[in-house]
Structure 1
């Protein structure tokens, strides 16, 4: 951007700034909630665009660099594999707006199979269906520990307490 005459008179220096939010501590579970609704003056409408997501989520590029370095040194492992999360559930919303519609979910079993769970109905589905569904509303990821990428083992290694 070229400085204006006012910038030159008052000797204003132009800076290029970036704002970034980083992760300081890794959690055993990551939940991502997509903004699927938008509010206007008189209504709340659903955003109908498809959101792309993958089976694995690597959070390395979102981590505070100090934590990233500390994890590497203390655990003596490759950081990119230590910061992986595996998708284990997806909540979907079908309907035109916030006031109407239906929620249902896809759940990954401990043997790595996906199931559609919709009220009292449950059926096996392909991972392709889960990863390409246009109505995803929330994603649930579990931390993958370096010893295994198995969901069952990842859940067993986590220390999750109830309140």
Structure 2
């Protein structure tokens, strides 16, 4: 999905070093260190707009195209080495030192946490399949109606759940959609049973 790629794209920033007083270029990028067995994506269906000088929430009904099979997040996973070598430029060190102590401790904590090994499946298995969709039907945020599209793990067919009425649904009717609000994905290795949820979340 282009929206996910845009969310994780590189931002270019200029920051002033408190030590050398020079403005140095920096980059900021959101990436995923590990991939969850179940993935829930919330689509932005509401925005804050102004009308006659007052702020109000407005429903967005844009058509969104999303994959039903094989959503691949490989390009959003961080490289194990962090994407850079172990050397740290002086300007970067000065930039970190100039931060609020709480922010600095958070950065140092995250840097240390990145050295903790993770299960290989959480990084090597990157493809997901859709198994449920929650839809919001209505023109505003204070009213409307929710329905769900559901696929059972042991079935290939889809179902539309509308209150107490459940009817079969064609996969072609899922996407694109103007009402989809929440997308539920399962990692393919979990769906196939190659990776057990009990192994990822031990109870003992």
Please report how far the alpha carbon of residue 158 of structure 1 lies from its aligned counterpart in structure 2 after TM superposition.
2.2
Q: 1:129 to 1:47 in 2, by over 3 A?
A: same
Moved over 2 A (4+): 12-15, 151-154, 156-162
Residue among 102, 110, 114 paired with 2:145: 102
Matching of residue 46 in structure 1 with residue 55 in structure 2: no
Question: For the residues of structure 2 that align with 1:114 and 1:137, how far apart are their CA atoms?
Answer: 17
- Larger deviation: 34-43 or 103-112? 34-43
Please report how far the alpha carbon of residue 134 of structure 1 lies from its aligned counterpart in structure 2 after TM superposition.
1.8
Question: For the residues of structure 1 that align with 2:58 and 2:23, how far apart are their CA atoms?
Answer: 42
Question: For the residues of structure 2 that align with 1:30 and 1:21, how far apart are their CA atoms?
Answer: 17
Residue among 88, 93, 112 paired with 2:156: 112
Could you give the per-residue CA deviations for residues 89-108 of structure 1, whole angstroms, max 9, x where no partner exists?
Answer: 01111111101111111001
Question: For the residues of structure 2 that align with 1:102 and 1:21, how far apart are their CA atoms?
Answer: 34
Mark the runs of 5 or more structure 2 residues left unpaired by the alignment: 1-21, 83-118
Question: For the residues of structure 2 that align with 1:142 and 1:20, how far apart are their CA atoms?
Answer: 25
Q: 1:132 to 1:120 in 2, by over 3 A?
A: same
Could you give the per-residue CA deviations for residues 14-63 of structure 1, whole angstroms, max 9, x where no partner exists?
Answer: 84x54321111221100000110012343211012111100121110111
Q: 1:157 to 1:138 in 2, by over 3 A?
A: same
Mark the runs of 5 or more structure 1 residues left unpaired by the alignment: 1-11, 69-73
Q: Given the two structures, how large is their TM-score scaled by the length of structure 1?
A: 0.72
2:197 counterpart residue number? 158
